[in-house]
Amino acid sequence: MNPDPTWQDELDVEEAMAGPGRVIPSGPVPDGPTDLSTTYLGLTLRTPVVASSSPLTGDLGSLKAIAAAGAGAVVLPSLFEEQLRDEAAALDALDGLGGEANPEAISGYTAPLDDYNDGATRYLALIRDAAAAIDVPVIASLNGVTEGGWTRYARLMADAGASAVELNVYRVAADAQVSGRSVEDETLRLIEAVASSAGVPIAVKLSPYWSSLAHLAPRLVDAGAAGLVLFNRFYQPDIDLETLRVGPHLVLSSSDELRLPLRWCAILHDRVGAASLAATSGVHTPADVLKVLLAGADVAMTTSALLRHGPDHVEVLVDGLRDWMQDRGYASVHELSGSVSQRSVQDPAAFERANYLSTITTYASTFLR
């Protein structure tokens, strides 16, 4: 069911779709089911709606509900480099684990791991339980920025049953001695290390704060990223005026935040070879899902909307996507994907600086009228 009668009106893309390479369906598909499947990280997903990493996906009951509601895949919450560094050193001391680990070996090492940090042990068990309980790919998540022994957890995650690993390179580059190039190079080395040992595809979750993302993106893919997740949302600190303390301030997103991943999916579509694109930040409604797919994403990831409305909201997104496709005559998500990307639209500059100029001019003329 469509929860919001206005979202379809808002999604008027026909004009933009008239560019090169566009296939505009002629009308509703007569019969036959709409094919909602998509390819992400080389995996076939039954729908392009993916539950991104959050505490919700750390709970087996919620994971089952998310899968039952029609998600194409789930991304578990992250294990963090800081959390794993000491454990990795401990793992070095354990015979027979490392790169050759398997689920049995992992369970055998539960006790020693518990001595250091039971977070990782429980996490690997969650992967195993989730992979056994739900019929969609389980993507594990690692969060870190520097190379080190902790990266072997990608392999342990794969051995525990993860179909892929998402590597979140969340970083605030606040060291004045470290250049942008160094940050990029360090990230590339990290991806190489994780991708070469994981044994499953690696997605890299990025922040939007890179000086030349169009240049960096193919290098990330060359380093081993099978997909890019655009974008991680930074949780900015705030100042409490009563206590003058600085603290974290987590606010769930709204659909307004969709524009940033939308733009970059549109720009990077067809520029990263066979690598996949996932949009995250601001996916709340079926219209949001459609927009990022049209722009060039292979999947639409959502967290805030699921935290706000519960796992069943996945069904709202999937049903709305299917309804719109049927109304417009799209037979498959593959047909839809990227059809309003920068390379497909008549006015590619709409995704770049020219759009900024026209936006402020439009606003000024309304304001001054």
Ligand X SMILES: Cc1cc2nc3c(=O)[nH]c(=O)nc-3n(C[C@H](O)[C@H](O)[C@H](O)COP(=O)(O)O)c2cc1C
Residues that bind ligand X (CB under 6 A): 52-55, 77-78, 141, 143, 168, 205, 232-233, 252-253, 257, 280-283, 302-305
* CB nearer to ligand X: pick between 47 and 281: 281
**Hunting for tokens 């994780």 — which residue is that?**
194
User: In this structure, are strands 164-168 and 138-143 parallel, antiparallel, or unpaired?
Assistant: parallel
We find the least distance from the C-beta atom of residue 251 to ligand X, in angstroms, to be 9
We find the least distance from the C-beta atom of residue 318 to ligand X, in angstroms, to be 15
Tell me if 195 sits within 8 A of 223, measured CB to CB. Answer: yes
Tell me if 235 sits within 8 A of 250, measured CB to CB. Answer: yes
DSSP state at residue 152: G
Burial classification of residue 305, based on how many CB atoms lie within 10 Å of its CB (0-12 exposed, 13-18 middle, 19 or more buried): buried
* CB nearer to ligand X: pick between 143 and 276: 143
We find the least distance from the C-beta atom of residue 61 to ligand X, in angstroms, to be 17
* CB nearer to ligand X: pick between 234 and 363: 234
How many Cα atoms are found within 13 Å in the side-chain-facing hemisphere of 241? 0
We find the least distance from the C-beta atom of residue 199 to ligand X, in angstroms, to be 21
* CB nearer to ligand X: pick between 302 and 344: 302
* CB nearer to ligand X: pick between 238 and 352: 238
We find the least distance from the C-beta atom of residue 368 to ligand X, in angstroms, to be 34
* CB nearer to ligand X: pick between 221 and 258: 258
288 Cβ neighbours under 8 A, 6+ residues apart: 255, 258, 282, 300
* CB nearer to ligand X: pick between 132 and 251: 251
Distance of alpha carbon 47 from alpha carbon 31, whole angstroms = 19
Distance of alpha carbon 281 from alpha carbon 304, whole angstroms = 8
Q: Which of 194, 203, 195 is nearest to 137 (CA)?
A: 203
We find the least distance from the C-beta atom of residue 232 to ligand X, in angstroms, to be 6
Distance of alpha carbon 178 from alpha carbon 102, whole angstroms = 38
Distance of alpha carbon 335 from alpha carbon 324, whole angstroms = 13
We find the least distance from the C-beta atom of residue 147 to ligand X, in angstroms, to be 19
CA dihedral over 197, 298, 286, 64, signed as positive or negative: negative
* First-to-final CA distance of the chain: 40
We find the least distance from the C-beta atom of residue 141 to ligand X, in angstroms, to be 5
106 Cβ neighbours under 8 A, 6+ residues apart: 97, 124, 156, 159, 160
We find the least distance from the C-beta atom of residue 50 to ligand X, in angstroms, to be 10
* CB nearer to ligand X: pick between 168 and 337: 168
Q: Which of 52, 25, 1 is nearest to 297 (CA)?
A: 52
* CB nearer to ligand X: pick between 211 and 254: 254
